[in-house]
Structure 1
C-alpha cells in the first residue's frame, strides 16, 4: 500500500508499477479516476486591469448517484471585490452539473488578488483557490531629475509624485560628489532597458564596467532577481554569456537570438566591450574574442562604400563607419591592421569626421604619435550626420561622443576635449530621449572626464520637514521613500566645490492617462473577424476569434529600423496565434509584414520591426475567452 499526494486535480491518472529480480523485470499499469463527490471548475482571465469587472462562471459537478442542494460562496482578498451576492444556492441532480455565476471587480490598485471558492454539499466542504494579477492598463511612468549644489547653502528638492497609484509609487534620492551622477538618467536608461537585441545588451553592460558603483547606488544590490538586474558584475557577466550564444560560424554576431546573419556594427561594438571587460578582470572566452577579431579583419578586405547623408541636405560616398571603428578596436586588442590603416590614411576623403578621429586614435594606440597628430582633425565641426536607426546607428551625439571617448583614451590632455565635452553635454540637455548608442558613448566619455575632474570637499546633511535624515560626506548617499517619508526635502551644505544629486520617482498613473501623439511615426489598430470583415464595435462574443491588425506608418522618406510596437491586451482576451499565416481561412490577408522578432506574453505582444515602406501592416489572432 502506498500513499501518493496529488495536487488540486480532477480527472484520470495513470499508475504504473515496475518490479525486477535478478536479470528479470516486469511492469503493470492501470488508470484511476480522481474526483471529489463534488468537482469545482471556474473560469477567469489571465489578468485584470484596475476598474475591470469580470464574470466568473463556476461549474459544480455532482459525481454521485444522489441529488441534493449546495451552497457556493466566493471570498476575495487583495485588490478585488465581489459585485453582487457572494453566496448562491444550487440544486444538484445526480451525476449532473450545476452552474453559478459570480461577478468580480478589480479595485483601483495594482497587485495580486486571491479568489477562494467554497462549495458545501453532501455534508462536506470543497474548495478551489486561484490567484490573478491586476496589472496597469497604462505603462509604468518614470520621472527623473538632477542638479548641482555649489559650496555652502540650502537647496530645496521637489520630487513629483502626483497621479500615481499609492501602492505603485516609489522614489529615491542619490547624492554624491562624483560629477558622473549628473548622467544618472542615461545610466538608468541603459541598466533598465527592457529589450534584448545584442546591441542593447552590450550597451547596458558597457557603462557598468566603469560606473557599476553608481549603478548599484541608484538601483540597489541584492540576491533577488530584481536586485540582480542592478548588480554590475552580474550584468557584465551575463552580457558576455549572451554575446557568446549569438556568435555565428564566421565569428560575427547576430543582432537577435536565432538570426542567421551577422550585424557588422554590433559585432565591432561587442568586441570593444569584450576587450574592456577582459581588462577589467572579467573572464572572456579567448575563442569568442579571437573569432570576432578574425571577422573584423575579414570585413576590412572589402573596400566598399556607402551613401552618407549629413548636414541635412548633403550626401557623399564614404567607407562604412564600421571600418574605422574596426581598426580602432583591433588596435585596442594589439592586432592593429597597419596596411588597411595606411590605405585609409591615404584616402581620407572616404572617412566621415568621427571615423577620422577613430583612425588617428588607432595609430596612437599602436604607438605612432606622429601619424596620430597628423590625422587628428582640428575640431569636431563642419559635419553633422543624419540620424540612423539601423546600420551603424550614427547620430550627431553618438558620433561626437565616440570620437571624444577615443580621444580621452589616447590623449586625455588634448585641448579639444573640453569643447567636445561641452558640446555633447549641451546636446544631451536638449532632448529627453536617446537611443542606446547615444546613452552608452556619452556616458563613457563624459563619465570618464567627470571622475578625473572631481575635487569637491562639500559636506552637509539631508533634511526632511526641517529634520536631518542623513549626513553628506565623501560617500554616496542613497535615500528611498521610506527614509525620506515626504517631499519637503532640502540639502544644507558647507565647504567648497560641487555636490551632485539625482532623483527618480516612478509609479502607475491613477487616471490611466498618458500623452497620445504621432511624431513622424503612426500606429493604428483595427479588429477583423476570421473572414476579414471589419469589427467596428467595442463588444465581442465569448469564444470569438479576432484578428488584430497593427498598421505602422512613417511621414518622411528613408527607412526606420529597430522599432518596438507594444500592444496591450484587454482583460478576457488571450493570444491564439501570433502568426496568422498558420491559421486556415486567412487568405484574405494579403499585405502582412513579418516582424524581425516577437515577444508574446500573457497580457501583451511586442513586435520588433524595421520600417522600410511608408506603411507596413502586421496581424495576430486573439480569442475572447472570459466576458
Structure 2
C-alpha cells in the first residue's frame, strides 16, 4: 500500500480533508468494484494465548492486509501482515463503474493461469436484466500465462441494475461470479403536477398522454385527493426523501417527513421513523456538533451554520427523541446551552455559529452590519422558542422580545416562534397578540436571507399556531397557503419542510376524503389524503363519492426521452477540457489512459451572495483522479487553470463531481477536477449544472454530448 511506498519525512504536513460524503446525497446504488473490509469482533484467546479467527473472504483475488490488536488489563500489542488471496486461474473483468442508457463499452477480460494446469479454458461472460453482453471463447493457457481480451457490451435503454455473470471451465477447474452494474441517466427526472377540483359524483379517467415525452418504463403516475387545493404531503415528502445534497439544513429538512408526516407518505418500503432513516439523520447531525454545542453546516466546527440553522437542528433533535430516536442527553444539553447563549445578543461569541457576514459577501439593500443584527435577531427568536419547547425557557426574555424587539424584527416566522414560546410558557395573551403581529408581516421577503421566503414563513406561522394550541389562527390562514403553494419540485428544502409540517396539522383537523377507484392501486395516504398508483390506463377511473368537492393532484415523475439542453436562469455555466499541459481539447475523442482537467466556470446574475451547488455528472468510462483547490493552481503544472473559487466542500464521487460554494455577481466562479479515461467505449457526456440551493428557479446548465474512448 502507499503507506509503505512513501517516505513521510520527505513531504510537508497536509491539511486534513474530510470524507467524501459531507455534501451528502444519494450516489450510485451499486458498482462492480469489489472491496473487502472484514472485522472479526472481539475474540478471547485460549490458555496458550492463541486464537483462531475466521473471516468469510468470499470470492476475491488480490492482497489483503490483516491487522490484529491484543490486550490484557495491563498490556497491549498489535501486528499486521499482508495476505495474498487468489484462485489457481484468476478470472477478472474490468467494467466501467456505471453506464448511461445506450452506452457501448469494452470491458477488459483478464485470465491469469497462476497455479492451474496448462490447457484449454472456456470463458463465458453474459449480461442479464437488459444488459446486452454475450461472450464465450476458449483460451489455451500455459502455466503462468496471462491473456487479455476486450469484451463488447451495450447498456440497457432504461435505468436500473443489471447483472454480469462470468464463468471459467477447463482442466477440471471451474469458477463463476456475478457483478452488478447500474445504468443511470446523466440527467434528472421530470416532475409533472396537475391540480384540479373534482365535484361530488364527478369521475376522472387519466389519459396515456400524461406520459408523452418520457422514456418508456421510467414513469410513475399517482393520483391523490385532498380537501385542500395544492396541499398533498406525499409528493413533498417524496421530494425531501430524494433530495441529493446534505448540509445540516438539508439533512434536517429531509428528515422532517419522519416527524410530521405519516409513515405512508414516504413509502411502505422504508424503515419506520424510529428506525434507520431517522437515526441516520440524527447521527449525521450529531457528527457535526462541537463541544460548545454548535452544529457545523458541512462538518464539525466549520462555523458556517447560522444560529437559525443551529436552532433548526436542535429543534429536530428534540422532536426526534420524542419520536423514539436515541439522542444522547449530553448532546441535547450542549445544544440547549448553545441556544441559551444565542438567546441574548452578547452570548453569540460563546458559540461557534456564524457571528457576522464574511467580508466577501454582497447584500441587496442593506449593509453588513444590518445583516449581522438581523442574523442574530432571528437566531435569538428561534432559540427562545426551542428553549421553551425543551423545558428550559426564558419567559422574561420572550416577553422582552415581544414587547421591544418586534419593532425591529420584520420576520413573521421569528414573531410566530416567539408567540409559540410564550404560549408554551403560559402567557397566552401575549402569545395571541404576537401571532397577530406575525400575520401582519406575512408576505415579507428578504433576498439576503438564504432560508427565508414568504411561503416558508406562512407555513411556519400556521404550523406554530396549531402546535401552540391556537388552531383557529392556523385554520384562518389555510386559504392563503393554498393560493401560495407551488409544485413540490419548485420548493426549496425549507419550504418543503415547513409546508409539510403545516399540511400535517391542517389535514389532521379536516375530515376524511371519499373516493372510489377502479383498476388503480391503493397507496398508503394517511392524514385524510387518498392516494392511488396508476400502472395502466384502460378502465382506470376515480369517482368522488363524498359530500363535497375534492382537490385532485396528478403527479407524474419520469425521465425525458431527450437530455435537457443548455439553459441559463440567473446562473450561466460553461465547461472546458484541457490536457495536463494546458492545451484545450475536444472531449469527443480520447484514448484510454488519458488524463484531463475539467474546468466548470460561471457567473451569477444576483447581486447578493447566494449558496450554489455545482454538479457535473461523469460519462461512464471516466473516473475522477482528484479535485483541484485554489491552492493547487497558484503554482506548479496547473497554473493554466487560472483562479479557482474557494468551496465549502467538494467531492469526487463514483459518478460525478460535486461542489458547494457561495457566489455573487461581483465575481465569476470556477471549480475544477482531474479525470481519467479508463474504459474504451462510446458514452453519453452529460452537461454540468449549477443551481441555487434555496432558489430552485435560479440555475444554469451546459448541454450534453458524446465521447468516444479508444483502446490503447
Give TM class, smaller chain. Answer: 0.7 to 0.9
Task: State the SS of the aligned residue for 1:595.
Answer: coil
Equivalent runs, 1:481-560 vs 2, <5 Å: 481=534, 484-486=535-537, 488-499=539-550, 501-509=552-560, 511-514=561-564, 516-560=566-610
Offset at residue 286 of structure 1 (A): 3.1
* 1:219 equivalenced with 2:269 (yes/no): no
Specify which of 43, 50, 53 is matched with residue 94 of structure 2: 43
* 1:397 equivalenced with 2:455 (yes/no): yes
Specify which of 252, 256, 259 is matched with residue 298 of structure 2: 256
Quote the residue 2:335 is aligned against.
Answer: 292
Specify which of 366, 374, 393 is matched with residue 336 of structure 1: 393
* 1:578 equivalenced with 2:640 (yes/no): no
Quote the residue 2:649 is aligned against.
Answer: 597
* 1:377 equivalenced with 2:437 (yes/no): yes
Specify which of 240, 265, 281 is matched with residue 282 of structure 2: 240
Residues 201 and 624 of structure 1: is their aligned pair in 2 closer, same or farther, counting only changes over 3 Å?
same
Query: For the Cα contact (< 8 Å) 2:265–2:524, is it kept in 1?
Result: no
Distance 2:63 2:240 in 1: 51
Quote the residue 1:101 is aligned against.
Answer: 150
Quote the residue 1:135 is aligned against.
Answer: 184
Offset at residue 194 of structure 1 (A): 2.8
Offset at residue 496 of structure 1 (A): 0.9
Residues 447 and 185 of structure 1: is their aligned pair in 2 closer, same or farther, counting only changes over 3 Å?
same
Offset at residue 520 of structure 1 (A): 0.4
Q: CA-to-partner distance for each residue in 1:446-494, whole Å, 9 max, x for gaps?
A: 4313321x235x6452124xx998999998655434xx53365322233
Quote the residue 1:608 is aligned against.
Answer: 660
Equivalent runs, 1:367-446 vs 2, <5 Å: 367-372=426-431, 375=434, 376-377=436-437, 379-381=439-441, 384-388=444-448, 390=450, 393-410=451-468, 412=470, 414=472, 417=474, 420-429=477-486, 432-446=489-503
Task: State the SS of the aligned residue for 1:394.
Answer: coil
Residues 67 and 433 of structure 1: is their aligned pair in 2 closer, same or farther, counting only changes over 3 Å?
same
* 1:170 equivalenced with 2:230 (yes/no): no
Give the TM-score of the pair, scaled to structure 1. Answer: 0.79
Specify which of 425, 435, 438 is matched with residue 366 of structure 1: 425
Quote the residue 1:302 is aligned against.
Answer: 345
Offset at residue 104 of structure 1 (A): 1.8
Which deviates more, 319-328 or 280-289? Answer: 280-289
Task: State the SS of the aligned residue for 1:217.
Answer: helix
Which deviates more, 175-184 or 530-539? Answer: 175-184
Which deviates more, 297-306 or 344-353? Answer: 297-306
Quote the residue 2:104 is aligned against.
Answer: 53
Offset at residue 614 of structure 1 (A): 2.9
Residues 232 and 443 of structure 1: is their aligned pair in 2 closer, same or farther, counting only changes over 3 Å?
farther
Quote the residue 2:211 is aligned against.
Answer: 161
Residues 165 and 97 of structure 1: is their aligned pair in 2 closer, same or farther, counting only changes over 3 Å?
same
Distance 2:328 2:85 in 1: 54
Residues 111 and 442 of structure 1: is their aligned pair in 2 closer, same or farther, counting only changes over 3 Å?
closer
Distance 1:473 1:383 in 2: 31
Distance 1:365 1:371 in 2: 11
Residues 341 and 111 of structure 1: is their aligned pair in 2 closer, same or farther, counting only changes over 3 Å?
closer
Query: For the Cα contact (< 8 Å) 2:261–2:500, is it kept in 1?
Result: no
Residues 97 and 377 of structure 1: is their aligned pair in 2 closer, same or farther, counting only changes over 3 Å?
closer
Distance 1:302 1:130 in 2: 58
Query: For the Cα contact (< 8 Å) 1:268–1:325, is it kept in 2?
Result: yes
Offset at residue 164 of structure 1 (A): 4.0
Query: For the Cα contact (< 8 Å) 1:13–1:34, is it kept in 2?
Result: no
Task: State the SS of the aligned residue for 1:247.
Answer: coil
Q: Show structure 1 runs of 5+ residues with no match.
A: 17-26
- The structure in which a higher percent of residues are strand is 1
RMSD: 4.3
Q: CA-to-partner distance for each residue in 1:390-415, whole Å, 9 max, x for gaps?
A: 4xx1222222332333333446255x
Query: For the Cα contact (< 8 Å) 2:292–2:338, is it kept in 1?
Result: yes
Offset at residue 275 of structure 1 (A): 3.6
Task: State the SS of the aligned residue for 1:287.
Answer: helix
* 1:455 equivalenced with 2:482 (yes/no): no
Q: CA-to-partner distance for each residue in 1:195-224, whole Å, 9 max, x for gaps?
A: 222222222333432322xxx3343324xx
Distance 1:182 1:8 in 2: 48
Task: State the SS of the aligned residue for 2:211.
Answer: coil
Task: State the SS of the aligned residue for 2:508.
Answer: helix
Q: Aligned residues, how many?
A: 590
Distance 2:295 2:113 in 1: 60
Offset at residue 623 of structure 1 (A): 0.9
Offset at residue 109 of structure 1 (A): 2.7
Residues 54 and 402 of structure 1: is their aligned pair in 2 closer, same or farther, counting only changes over 3 Å?
same
Which structure: larger Rg?
1
Query: For the Cα contact (< 8 Å) 1:182–1:501, is it kept in 2?
Result: no
Distance 1:100 1:431 in 2: 49
Task: State the SS of the aligned residue for 1:535.
Answer: coil
Query: For the Cα contact (< 8 Å) 1:265–1:322, is it kept in 2?
Result: yes
Query: For the Cα contact (< 8 Å) 2:98–2:620, is it kept in 1?
Result: yes
Distance 2:678 2:337 in 1: 53
Task: State the SS of the aligned residue for 2:573.
Answer: strand
Task: State the SS of the aligned residue for 1:80.
Answer: coil
Offset at residue 498 of structure 1 (A): 4.5
Distance 1:373 1:604 in 2: 50
Distance 2:421 2:650 in 1: 39
Residues 81 and 564 of structure 1: is their aligned pair in 2 closer, same or farther, counting only changes over 3 Å?
same
Give the TM-score of the pair, scaled to structure 2. Answer: 0.71
Query: For the Cα contact (< 8 Å) 1:12–1:33, is it kept in 2?
Result: yes
Query: For the Cα contact (< 8 Å) 1:461–1:468, is it kept in 2?
Result: no
Q: Show structure 2 runs of 5+ residues with no match.
A: 1-53, 68-78, 349-354, 358-363, 681-712
Quote the residue 1:620 is aligned against.
Answer: 673
Query: For the Cα contact (< 8 Å) 2:232–2:529, is it kept in 1?
Result: no
